[in-house]
Structure 1
Amino acid sequence: MAIRPPISPGQWINSRAELLPMRPALTFQGTTWTYREFVEQIDRLAGALHAQGVRQGDRVGFLAFNHSMFLVALFATSKLGAIYVPLNFRLTGAELEFIINDAGVHTLIVGPDHQSVLEPVRGALKCQRFFGFGGHSEAWPDIAREMERATPVHAAAEMDPDDVAILIYTSGTTGRPKGSMMTVGNIWATMVNEMLMVDVLSTDTLLTYAPLFHVGGLNVLTMTTILKGAHVVLHQSFDPGQVIADIARYKVTLAFAVPAMLLFISQHPDFEKADMSTLRSVSVGGAPCPEPLLKLYNGRGIAVNQGYGLTETCAMASFLTPEWCWQKMGSVGKPPPLTQLRVIDATGEVITQPHARGEICVRGLNVTRGYWNRPDATRDALSEDGWLRTGDVGYFDEDGFYYICDRVKDMVITGGENVYPAEVESVLYEHPSIAEVAVIGEPDEKWGEAVTAVVALKPGTTLTLEQLQEHASQKLARYKIPRRMHIVPALPRNPTGKVLKYVLRDRFAKSAGGEKQ
């Protein structure tokens, strides 16, 4: 008989409540639940979902800002052996319609701020049940009432490690979003990797303000903190001032952020005088952490863990510890224990020479099964022996540390030379006037593509193309120096903080604006 280890979220949350019933589990908007109270809420929602016909393998969708109900619904869904589908609250109704129907959501739970978003497309949704929470609406019956009348479900359904637990849809920047199938085993492996690399303690307090619908907000520390029986302080959305205040209020020890969030926190007027003495480390992903930010936070006694990952790797594919951040500046580190990395060339051959650039590939227990209803996309992304093609260009050095140069599709080819925007951006970020910068390729009759800098300036500063070029010329070859520049108020970003370069390309490819040379 096959052994089914009790590693599903619905199973291990019960273990936490039994071992640490009175330990604080979750704080949201001033209310704190112990692990016992947290599991009582989970059991009630599991009972309500079961009463509405949710069974093993069914999909339960959730759409709202960060909320305690998000985590309650995730664990309740797992207790039934069903599949959780967290939805991006920034999408339009039409975009959400595609994802909800593609996933085949049985029961949809929607917060009060997003019910109006779905109203125009509700008739096209194929869900069997619709519920709301946090407000009264006849069209969206309150799931809390169902929880009150339902018989709680405490025992968790048995699940195999290969059973899908969560469907997280990719951003769809190059086409329709795809549902990445995160299994029970994937989640477990990710948490083991993080516990080994970050050293999460049961006495820690994590502050979560990144969107939970995204793999970074959910899997980088939030789920791991709960597995350890530690305390999660959850914010509805990212507010730099509130982050600073709650670090002191709750004696926060851990946090996750993308570099843009760290930047905004550091620019808040309360940052300099804030008490951050309990904050042991911040884990950073989504983009490389610029050196000035690294120095700033290290100067406050805060260690910065850096990593690299994708939705398809359940967040973590590599990790750079604080001990190596200065010796290996710009590196994304090495793969954690349950993960492997390699680099391949354009023909698919494995590169064995350090510093030779190619496409990064990932294999490990944290790599997802593929894409929901998309066997074609799964075949394109995953090899038969489990290697995931990331679409990222990178290399490794003599010590086995990996570096990400850029996305394959973001590379600029100018005059026959390959230019990796991340390399140019890292130099431009050193200019004192630049707050944000993205480098793209613009169509050019002479060069094929012109290296172009899209810049957001710091308040009260100015910058000309000539000044930018003079700065870049000190560290970059001539063909890498931007030939054009556009000044914008801010760069467009997705919920994880990554710059949406396709938006910039679409915008500026159609215009003749910008300074040129």
Structure 2
Amino acid sequence: MSTPLDLDPFAFGGVPAPRPAIGMGQWFSARASRGAHRPALSFEGRTWRYGELAGEVDRLATVLAEGGLKPGMRLAYLGFNNPMFFVALFATTKLGAVFVPLNFRLTGPELAYIIDDAGAHTLLADSAHHAVLDGVRESLCCRAFWNADGKAADPARWPALADAVAAASPWTAPAAAPAADDVAVIMYTSGTTGRPKGAMLTHGNFWWNHVAELYTMDVMADDRLLVFAPVFHIGGLNVLTLTTFLKGGHVVLQRHFDPATALAALAEHRISTVFAVPAMLLFMSQQPDFAQADLSALRLIMCGGAPCPEPLLHLYNGRGIAIQQGYGLTETASMVAALTAEYAATKIGSVGHTTLLTQVRLIDSDGGEVTEPLARGEICVRGPNVMRGYWNQPEATRQALGADGWFRTGDIGYRDADGFHYVCDRVKDMIITGGENVYPAEIESVLAGHPAIAEVAVIGAPDAKWGETVVAVVALKPGHTLGLDELQAFAGERLARYKLPRQLQLVDALPRNPTGKILKYKLREERRPA
């Protein structure tokens, strides 16, 4: 898609200049050609250098193209974290096709809905997930099926992709040169309030997110990034991970998140950067050897997905590690705002300033702009990182993305007098009790400081008198007990009375999605009156 010269950032003196290769398949090939010898990716005892990984990408591109995958078509990938995920991502985009990562926690019918909604031509799945797909395979729209790992499978139904790649010749045609607003990835949202929606993320969305991360987090060529968050999710894929590849750094990939294994890897690989959600950091800190673990190489923990409790921030700060909190969404290709290390201790709880080229404004329930410091409103985002829209859902796109480019996030936030942003809660999670707006995240941050509490979620429950009442759902640390009176006394020192929990419910563990976010809708459903 062309741009008028007077608006063309790559026109100099009125003469169009060659546009930079910002297509995902383009820039990865360029990076590999400029540092083929550098370690790119380590996984379960093996390390691929950039040249080796690029060779895998080129041969897979040949296999996919010969199988009928053409520009604009969709390739779906289902599996645990594995190097083949990235090989498939770069090969797909090199052909000008669209990559669709799938959530491995979904059931067969849920996966079938997404695969068919996306109209996927090709499906790659690791052997651990063949059974769930076999149950719905006959109804799928896919034309090609591949086994994405080297483990035993039914070769007639799931031919081994690794064998085909090994036998293929490298793709020699030039990489597709997409426009900035051509779709690179369709990433489906969690669908906690209905059917999942496919956020169309463009090559430009990803590129400008990389630029923002380079400026905000100083990603360096000698960084070693540990990735244990699931890469089908925007956080695992595009918070630091792709930017580290772009910069020529070294990604250490783990198949699953395991707190003991993750903690050991930090020392073994001299990890310098990590992205994690607060629950992952909590579980690592609960390991018996956490206090003795060698974290001396770790310079940056980027934390997102949920507010990081103050006790956890102080715990890692005590180890000399500043946790940088960030804020982003699938629909914004990840980063919207980030708190730089210099403010980590003085602006606890803030997600910092907006990233480069991204704008944020707050609106009230009538759509008016909220400008007063500390006044709450719904967060709206505009910038080159904001999605093109939802796949096949024009009405949902219209509701979320205005003609002026502002995306309504559904999150509530405010900014302080210094311009630092804070995220309070989801609009749908807000509790209205006795006419007062109560934000669960505020209560959770206080309750998390109680010495008996391992994890906590606050939800609203129907109440005949007040409309809703505040409920604390708590998982206790081993060997501890807790009653409602004690909890109210503890919280009452920092919270107004109308914010105090009126019910306490103890559970063994809180339900979470694959990235560690607490599934509050499940808590509400479980406690909904019959």
* TM superposition shift of 1:148: 2.8
For 1:303 and 1:226, locate their aligned partners in 2 and report how far apart those are by CA, in whole Å.
Answer: 23
Would the aligned equivalents of 1:5 and 1:160 in 2 still touch at CA under 8 Å? no
TM-score (norm 1): 0.97
Number of equivalenced pairs: 511
Pairing partner for 1:44 from 39, 44, 59: 59
For 1:329 and 1:16, locate their aligned partners in 2 and report how far apart those are by CA, in whole Å.
Answer: 37
1:116 is aligned to 131
Q: Tell me the SS of whatever aligns to 2:135.
A: helix
1:96 is aligned to 111
Post-superposition CA distance 1:125-146 (Å, at most 9, x none): 1101111132231311111222
1:153 is aligned to 171
2:461 is aligned to 442
Q: Which segments of 5 or more consecutive residues in structure 2 lack a partner in the other structure? A: 4-17
Post-superposition CA distance 1:272-306 (Å, at most 9, x none): 21111111111000111111111111222222111
Would the aligned equivalents of 2:358 and 2:382 in 1 still touch at CA under 8 Å? yes
Q: Tell me the SS of whatever aligns to 1:462.
A: coil
User: Is the counterpart of residue 142 in structure 1 residue 160 in structure 2?
Assistant: yes
For 2:260 and 2:453, locate their aligned partners in 1 and report how far apart those are by CA, in whole Å.
Answer: 23
1:58 is aligned to 73
Pairing partner for 1:411 from 422, 426, 430: 430
Root mean square deviation of aligned Cα: 1.1
Pairing partner for 1:402 from 405, 421, 424: 421
For 2:402 and 2:528, locate their aligned partners in 1 and report how far apart those are by CA, in whole Å.
Answer: 35
Would the aligned equivalents of 2:26 and 2:94 in 1 still touch at CA under 8 Å? yes
1:72 is aligned to 87
For 1:84 and 1:74, locate their aligned partners in 2 and report how far apart those are by CA, in whole Å.
Answer: 6
User: Is the counterpart of residue 286 in structure 1 residue 284 in structure 2?
Assistant: no
* TM superposition shift of 1:4: 4.3
Q: Could you tell which deviates more after superposition, 226-235 or 269-278? A: 269-278
Q: Tell me the SS of whatever aligns to 2:69.
A: coil
1:94-493 matches, cutoff 5 A: 94-132=109-147, 133-135=149-151, 136-138=153-155, 139-154=157-172, 155-493=174-512
For 2:248 and 2:314, locate their aligned partners in 1 and report how far apart those are by CA, in whole Å.
Answer: 32
User: Is the counterpart of residue 32 in structure 1 residue 54 in structure 2?
Assistant: no
2:10 is aligned to none
Would the aligned equivalents of 1:428 and 1:472 in 2 still touch at CA under 8 Å? yes
Moved over 3 A (4+): 1-4
* TM superposition shift of 1:32: 0.3
Q: Could you tell which deviates more after superposition, 145-154 or 383-392? A: 145-154
Would the aligned equivalents of 1:206 and 1:233 in 2 still touch at CA under 8 Å? yes
* TM superposition shift of 1:149: 3.2
* TM superposition shift of 1:267: 0.6
* TM superposition shift of 1:153: 1.1
For 1:331 and 1:273, locate their aligned partners in 2 and report how far apart those are by CA, in whole Å.
Answer: 29
Post-superposition CA distance 1:63-106 (Å, at most 9, x none): 00000000000000011000000100010011000000000000
For 2:325 and 2:424, locate their aligned partners in 1 and report how far apart those are by CA, in whole Å.
Answer: 15
TM-score (norm 2): 0.95
Would the aligned equivalents of 2:322 and 2:344 in 1 still touch at CA under 8 Å? no
For 1:45 and 1:240, locate their aligned partners in 2 and report how far apart those are by CA, in whole Å.
Answer: 33
Identity, in percent, stands at 59
For 2:20 and 2:249, locate their aligned partners in 1 and report how far apart those are by CA, in whole Å.
Answer: 22
Q: Tell me the SS of whatever aligns to 1:309.
A: strand
Amino acid at match of 2:114: I
Post-superposition CA distance 1:33-68 (Å, at most 9, x none): 100000000101011000101010010110000000
For 2:411 and 2:40, locate their aligned partners in 1 and report how far apart those are by CA, in whole Å.
Answer: 37
Would the aligned equivalents of 1:4 and 1:159 in 2 still touch at CA under 8 Å? no
Would the aligned equivalents of 2:77 and 2:100 in 1 still touch at CA under 8 Å? yes
Amino acid at match of 1:77: T
User: Is the counterpart of residue 22 in structure 1 residue 40 in structure 2?
Assistant: no
For 1:175 and 1:120, locate their aligned partners in 2 and report how far apart those are by CA, in whole Å.
Answer: 23
Amino acid at match of 1:57: G
Post-superposition CA distance 1:131-180 (Å, at most 9, x none): 11322313111112221333321431111000000011000000000000
Q: Tell me the SS of whatever aligns to 2:460.
A: strand
1:515 is aligned to none
* TM superposition shift of 1:510: 2.8
Amino acid at match of 2:328: G
Q: Tell me the SS of whatever aligns to 1:192.
A: helix
